[in-house]
Amino acid sequence: EVLLVESGGGVVQPGGSLRLSCAASGFSFRSYWMHWVRQVPGKGLMWVARMNSDGSTRDYAESVKGRFTISRDNAKNAVYLEMNSLRGEDTAVYYCARESMVGAFLIDYWGQGTLVTVSS
């Protein structure tokens, strides 16, 4: 069974930093591209970042480029999202998601999410 478990969310002040983690199991993690997607409670989904299987390629949404960094540790079956210079509009549930091997950019599994609240 594919399992993605996020952690690291919490309350942080504007301008602060936070590191999210996602522990993966139930599949060959080192073979898959991974994504982070966020959702303001009650609103739609917004793609944040994507990383290829060996960590050599990263893409970011314009709204987080230069502030967020996606990384992974294939030995630990984990993907991370380092978030700096946080703003109120970054408040959201952050989901870790797996990209299917069937098609590029096709997300087939999601974690349950971790809530990040940016507030003073």
Partner 1 sequence: SSELTQDPAVSVALGQTVRITCQGDSLRSYHASWYQQKPGQAPILVIYGKNNRPSGISDRFSGSTSGNTASLTITGAQAEDEADYHCNSRDSSGTHLVFGGGTKLTVL
Least distance (Å) from partner 1 to the CB of residue 99?
9
The contacts of residue 110 (CB under 8 Å, 6+ apart) are 4, 37, 95, 96, 97, 98
For the segment 82-111, give every residue that binds partner 1 (CB under 8 A): 95, 100, 102-111
Spatial separation of the C-alpha atoms in residues 33 and 55, rounded to whole Å: 9
What residues pair up with 44 in beta bridges, in sequence order?
Answer: none
- For residues 27 and 110, which CB has a smaller minimum distance to partner 1 in the complex? 110
Quick one: which segment of 7-15, 19-27, 44-52, 68-76 binds partner 1 (CB under 8 A)?
44-52
Q: Binding to partner 1 by residue 3, rule CB under 8 A?
A: no
- For residues 16 and 101, which CB has a smaller minimum distance to partner 1 in the complex? 101
Spatial separation of the C-alpha atoms in residues 20 and 45, rounded to whole Å: 18
